Amino acid sequence: MSFSHHFKTTVIPQLQKEFNLKNSMAVPRILMVKVSVGIGSFMRNSKDFSEIVENLAKITGQKAVVTKSRKAISNFKLREGVPVGLMITLRGGKMFDFLDRLIHVVLPRVRDFQGLSKRSFDGHGNYSIGMKEALVFPEINPDNIMNVHGVQVTVVTTAGTNEKGLALLKACGFPFKKD
């Protein structure tokens, strides 16, 4: 059973009952997943970040968008228009496929994984996960990696509050710590 089918048949009725909602369209949903990598340190050293672009394409199935600095900041030795990051926005089927792999394959591969923290919500029901190494994704071959980089995954929801966002992600199968 696919993750999107599981979401429609199991998660939505469960949350509708939990929040006592009459309309299923009022149930919080996952809008998009943003995957990003900061490349500031790579720009100081080698100026070549094509390897990171390829890794993100393997992980997500989409090409990354290069984000550039908006203004110059002398304390960070940053000029205007210099690439500072890579970002991918996933929606629909690719989003559900990515979340399925994240929950069931990637997170169990993280060393000393005890569960996700409940404190990583932003106050509006959106959740961020930071990983120090992208090597936890099985699509990346560790033998071909020259520069180890981290990955930031943000799950954007329509929850509105942290409590509803937590209930939504728990119902989807995210492994949270038992605090």
Domain residue limits, the chain: 29-172
pLDDT value for 18:
86
What's the confidence (pLDDT) of residue 143? 72
Encode the chain (179 residues) as per-residue pLDDT tens digits: 677 788 888 888 888 888 888 888 888 888 999 999 888 666 566 667 778 888 888 888 889 888 877 777 766 666 776 777 889 999 988 888 888 888 888 888 888 888 888 888 888 889 998 888 877 787 877 777 777 778 889 999 998 888 888 888 888 888 888 76
pLDDT at 179: 64
pLDDT on residue 75: 60
What integer pLDDT is reported at residue 70 of this predicted model?
A: 72
pLDDT of residue 82: 74
Q: In CATH, what number does 29-172 get?
A: 3.30.1440.10
Report whether 57 contacts 64 (CB < 8 A): yes
Structure tokens at 137: 């994704």
pLDDT value, residue 7:
81
CA nearest neighbour of 25 among 43, 42, 8: 8
Structure confidence at residue 41 (pLDDT): 67
The answer to whether the beta carbons of residues 149 and 54 sit under 8 Å apart is no
